[in-house]
Amino acid sequence: MSIPVSNIQDLFATAHDEGILSQASLKVLAVDDVGQSIQNALGVDVSTIHSSAPMIGSLLVDDSASIRFGSNSQAVRDGHNFCLKALRDSKQGSGILVSCRYINGTQLYPFVPLDRALEMTAANYNPNGSTPLYDAIVENLGGVVLKIQEFANIGSAARSSNWIFTDGHDEFSRRNTIDQARSVITDLLKMETNIVGAVGVKYSQNDDFYRIFCGRSEDEVDRARADGTLELLEPAGGLGIWPRWVLTPNNTQSEIRKAWQVVSQSNVRASQATGAAFSQFAAGGFAAKP
């Protein structure tokens, strides 16, 4: 489905009128360049999804050259494919729309039913770009906002689980800053029907992805985890992601695969929870009870 950019802007305006988007996020999203970037991601018409509790799942995957230089390309492919398999095996797939986008702009697949999502292979994932992280987040989550609004327009309340996977800090974003990306993330999270999580692969102990993702130090997060209050530790800046939904594996294939397994398990559990149960799961993070 190809929606004209003017219609995309109308959908964003409706999302603002209905309280999904703040004025700050509307200003970020309702511009022609962003609309054109989102256009190819919208995929199927939501009216073809027959579910009383539709779910949207999005993956934003780093395809920068450092993934390849770190010999992690296959671990990323395997992780993505494990996510798809886990959802398919859960038998929850009939009401799920999924998408996968690379940070440098390539769409592996737009929003499609789970059974139409593509496996990631060496032919369609060959990381060799840079890391325009903030631009990619705005464009990817802008598509999620539009899908949520499309469902709302036909009387369905969709929930979503959205994941960012990267091994680097932002480089070469042309349109958006961390504050603008945070605005869109914050708007999604305030509805309590959306999860935004992040995986940051650490090349060294100095790679403090918690600062980027949630404005907290690794020490703060470790203390909260140790005393059992991680789910209460709020973001204090950065991209505004809650610390309970952040993973920072070391730069090894085994740790990267383990992180993807955690993400896939969380997606399955999100797909099985609706209403208040979903909100409770989102509030608990990785430590939430099944």
For the stretch 178-233, pLDDT in tens is: 999 999 999 999 999 999 999 999 987 777 899 999 999 999 999 999 999 999 99
Residue 74's pLDDT band, with cuts at 50, 70 and 90, is very high
pLDDT score for 1: 46
Residue 102's pLDDT band, with cuts at 50, 70 and 90, is very high
206: enclosing H helix or E strand: none
**How confident is the model over 77-90, as pLDDT tens digits?**
999 999 999 999 98
Cα(227)–Cα(221) distance, integer angstroms: 10
Query: CA angle, corner 121, sides to 257 and 144, nearest 5?
Result: 75
Q: Where are the alpha helices (DSSP H) in 116-274?
A: 133-153, 178-189, 209-214, 218-226, 253-272
Q: What are phi and psi of 131, to 5 degrees?
A: -135, 70
pLDDT score for 288: 59
The amino acid that residue 74 corresponds to is Q
Tell me the HSE value of 180 on the side-chain side, using a 13 A CA sphere: 19
pLDDT, mean over the chain = 93
Nearest residue to 96 via CA among 141, 8, 162: 162
Radius of gyration from C-alpha coordinates of the chain:
17
Torsion sign over Cα 99, 100, 102, 106: negative
Structure tokens at 262: 């955690």
Give the pairing of strands 55-61 and 246-247: unpaired
Question: 176, 135 in Cβ contact below 8 A?
Answer: yes
Residue 2's pLDDT band, with cuts at 50, 70 and 90, is low
Q: In this prediction, what percent of the chain has a pLDDT beyond 70?
A: 96
Beta strands (DSSP E) in 79-132 are 96-102, 107-113
Would the pLDDT of 150 be above 80? yes
Would the pLDDT of 254 be above 50? yes
pLDDT score for 286: 84
Q: What is the pTM of this model?
A: 0.95
**How confident is the model over 44-73, as pLDDT tens digits?**
999 888 888 899 999 999 999 999 999 999
Structure tokens at 274: 């609706």
Domains in the chain, CATH or no CATH each: 5-287 (3.40.50.410)
Would the pLDDT of 289 be above 60? no
**How confident is the model over 105-142, as pLDDT tens digits?**
999 999 999 999 999 999 999 999 999 999 999 999 99
Give the pairing of strands 96-102 and 107-113: antiparallel
pLDDT score for 290: 40
- Give residue 65's Cα distance to chain centre: 21
Q: Mean pLDDT, to the nearest integer, of 249-277?
A: 95
**How confident is the model over 151-183, as pLDDT tens digits?**
999 999 999 999 999 999 999 999 999 999 999
